[in-house]
Amino acid sequence: MPGHPPARSRRAAERKGDVRERAILDTCEALLAQKGYDAMTVGDIAQGAGITRGALYFYFGSKQEVVAALVARTVEHLWERSRVTAQTEEPRQAIAAAMRRTVELWNEHGPVFRTAIDLSLTVPEIGELWSRTAELFIEAITAVLERAGVQAGTGPDQASAMAGALCWMIERTFYHASQESREKLQKASSTCEHIWLISAGLTA
C-alpha cells in the first residue's frame, strides 16, 4: 500500500529497535556496577551502547527512564526465575530453593536491585515495580509458611504478617551484604534461611 513500508522492512526495523534497546539496558546495567546511578550519564549509556545521545532519546527520555526500564526487565526476570518452585513442594525444600535462587539473582543483578531500592521512594514507576515484586514474594512466602502449618491470617504470629517481615528482612540484608562480597551474601542468605525455617517451625 502506498506510503507504508513492506512488512519485511517493518519487522527488520522492529528487530533493530529491540537490539538497540537491549544494548542500552545492558550498558546501563554495566555502568550501574562500574559507576553507580549518580555518576552515570546519558552520554555514558549512549557511548556504551554504540549510539548517539539523539538516538538514545528516541527510546528513552532520560537516564531515569532507562533505569526504570532496566528495573522492569530485571524484575520480570527475577519473578520468572523465582516462581519455578511448585506450590506442592515440601516447605523445607521450597525455602532452600527460594534462597538459592535469590542469591543467584542478587549476584547477577545486585547493582540493579540496589538502585531500585534507592530510587523506589522518589521514582513512582520504580517504586510501584518494586512494591509489586515484594507483594508477589510475600504471597509466595505466605504459601510456604501455611504449608508448613503456620496459621493463615494477618495477626502478628500468622502467615501473612510473618511473610511480610521475612521479605523485607531478606531485602535489606541482601542489600547490604551484596555490596561487600559474594561470600558475605552467601552467609547472609544462610542466616535469612535459618530465620525463615524458625518462623515456619522447621528447625527441629
Q: Are residues 123 and 36 in the same domain?
A: no
Q: Which of 57, 36, 61, 35 is nearest to 46 (CA)?
A: 57
Range of the domain at 13: 1-61
pLDDT digits (tens, 9 = 90+) for 80-91: 766 655 455 799
Q: Are residues 192 and 153 in the same domain?
A: yes
Q: Are residues 41 and 87 in the same domain?
A: no
CATH for 201: 1.10.357.10
Q: Are residues 56 and 81 in the same domain?
A: no
pLDDT(6) > 50: no
CATH for 54: 1.10.10.60
Q: Pick from 39, 61, 83: which residue ends a domain?
A: 61
What global pTM score does this model have? 0.85
Q: Are residues 140 and 171 in the same domain?
A: yes
Q: What is the structure's pLDDT at 14?
A: 46
The proportion of the chain whose per-residue pLDDT surpasses 90, expressed as a percent, equals 78
Q: Are residues 38 and 87 in the same domain?
A: no
Q: Are residues 122 and 157 in the same domain?
A: yes
pLDDT digits (tens, 9 = 90+) for 96-129: 999 999 999 999 999 999 999 999 999 999 999 9
Cell numbers representing residue 186 in the block = 552467601
Number of domains present in the structure of the chain: 2
Alpha helices in the chain (DSSP H): 7-34, 42-49, 53-59, 63-82, 91-119, 124-147, 159-177, 182-199
Cell numbers representing residue 169 in the block = 528482612
